[in-house]
Amino acid sequence: RLIYCSITGFGQTGPYAERAGYDLMIQAMSGMMSITGRPDGTPGEGPLRVGVAITDIFTGIYATTAILAAIEVRHRTGVGQHIDMSLLDVGMAILANQAAGYLNTGAVPQRQGNTHPSLAPYQDFPTRDGAMLLAIGNDGQFSRFSHAVGKPEWAGDARFATTAQRNIHRGELIPAMMEVTRTRTTADWVALLGSKAVPCGPINRVDQAFAEPQAVARNLVVNQAAEPMKYAGAAIKEIATVASPLRLLDTPPVLKNAPPGLGAHTDEVLAGLGLSPDAIAALRTRGVI
């Protein structure tokens, strides 16, 4: 009945099964870095890693799904099983449409910076005080955008009226749009375009993201009492963490315990290994622990 999930860089089979695997290496080998970053021939060109350990995180999520599936199978069969999770498998699975496009057409995906291969305008735009992100995904949104920014003629222009034509003529459309977006601040644009149901938003730093009214309203920061510890010489009694994104309305997840401090369970672990309190105290006196 045992369900056992193993997570390795390359899985239990194949020529790389014995290799160590780390997120950055998997991002490189899976093709993810090849489609992340600025296009060749532009400033800042070259492959880039994703800003978080994305294959580590997604492998954990996929592993959870696999374990739950195995539990359901056990409900029917009474038998558990081994689950073989690989960072490389997951890294290539989350290439999603990029992988599907290559496998079915043979066209190798290229880096496009913040643009989209089939949607335009769908990228960052300069503003008077920085930049914003526009994600216009259909013709109705583009029409509303055009009228909101005082360029209704764009919506009726055959070059820009449809998603397909905007994609073909993005070289003409995007520079013209940038001239317009530079005339107002990011906050002004977000307020105006948001009121017209045009998808847009600021390009936040992490501190700005946590300060967003929506993040505050959703209580995305959870403060937890922590076991006393020191960090950079200061006493830490509370640790802030990100709330679980799993919003089960009847049984919401509760974060009960903050991460333990360094060495918080040393005595407990050593006692479990058979060391007496005196032996543990002696190790501490000698600076071993």
CA distances in angstroms from 36 to 16, 78, 120, 136, listed in the order given: 25, 44, 18, 21
CA distances from 228 to 223, 224, 238, 271 (A): 14, 12, 8, 21
Place of tokens 């335009």: 120
Specify the DSSP element, H or E, that contains 159. Answer: none
Reading the block at residue 157, the tokens are 């222009």
Q: What is the CA radius of gyration of the chain?
A: 26
Is 8 in contact with 82 (CB distance < 8 Å)? no
Query: Are 139 and 64 in contact, with CB atoms under 8 Å apart?
Result: no
Q: What is the DSSP letter of 251?
A: S
| Tokens, residue 206 | 């992490």
Active site (annotated) includes residue 23: no
Catalytic pick among 56, 84, 139, 267? 56
Tell me how far the alpha carbon of residue 76 is from its chain's centroid. Answer: 35
- Counting every residue, how long is the chain? 289
- DSSP alpha helices (H): ranges in 6-118? 23-29, 54-77, 87-93, 97-105
Q: Is 28 exposed, middle or buried (0-12, 13-18, 19+ CB in 10 A)?
A: middle
Sign of the alpha-carbon torsion through 207, 208, 209, 214: positive
**Cβ neighbour number for residue 136 with a 10 Å cutoff:** 25
State the catalytic residues: 56
